[in-house]
Amino acid sequence: MGRGQKWVLRNGRWFGFGLLPALITLVLYAAALTALAFWADDLAAWATPFADDWESPWPGLLRGTFTVVLFAGGLLLAALTFTAVALLVGDPFYEALSEKVEESEGGGPEGPDRPLWRELWISLRDSLHILLRVAVLTVPLFVLGFVPVIGQTIVPALGFAVSGFFLTAELTSVALQRRDIPVRERLRLLRGRKALALGFGVPLVLAFLLPLVAVFLMPGAVAGATLLARDLVDDRADGNAGAPGDGSAGPATATPPAADGTD
């Protein structure tokens, strides 16, 4: 992560270029959260009609709690989806930034020749695949959060670890998709380097809790994820080369004929 931030700071033009999608996404999310805050009371009243006949102060307490939980859920959803939406909005921007990072590191693949709409569709499909996996893991953690002691200690730590892992998966998708590596294979590669994935993603999750910080870190996050993706691909190549018979295309070696002409 640090290498990625240093790269964009050394290349100031690309830092400014990479800010644009995150700024656009921030404006969209700010508008959505403002609308949620404005309509939260009405939504609470609509969702709890059974409390109309309750004696005061119970309807107000119930609806106040519902409003707080609703807005907190909106903030959590925004934090979990900000990166995916920013990557979708900024696909051409981050693709160019990632290619420039690869060029500075010795070059990378040009990527499959696909129209922009196809690239956007693949990015959306892969993001939904990852978000579904996040939901499968975070919903049980949310429920466990109400358990005394565990819910205030272990569960938050696990939540940040899950979010960090899948944030890394989202950010590395820019470089790995260019190599035409499917999303399931990307997740398998990251599971093989959990410490690397968590060390990259967890600090970003903590920083991304502050929306403005997320905006300014996004260009460096994409640059760092590109460097991380290169490491993953190198590991994948080494693994394929050393695993004959697994269906991968390792280096072929021919057996020379014997000097006397026999096989």
Say if CB 138 and CB 81 are below 8 A apart: no
Q: What is the mean pLDDT of the chain?
A: 81
pTM, two decimals, is: 0.70
Buried b (16+ CB within 10 A) or exposed e, 106-143: eebeeeeeeeeeebeebbeebbeebbebbeebbeebee
Question: Could you read off the pLDDT of 98-156 as tens digits, one per residue?
Answer: 999 999 988 777 766 666 677 778 777 887 888 888 888 878 887 787 778 887 788 88
Q: Under a CB-based contact definition with an 8 Å cutoff, are residues 5 and 218 in contact?
A: no
Total residues found in the chain within this entry: 263
pLDDT at residue 49, rounded to an integer: 81
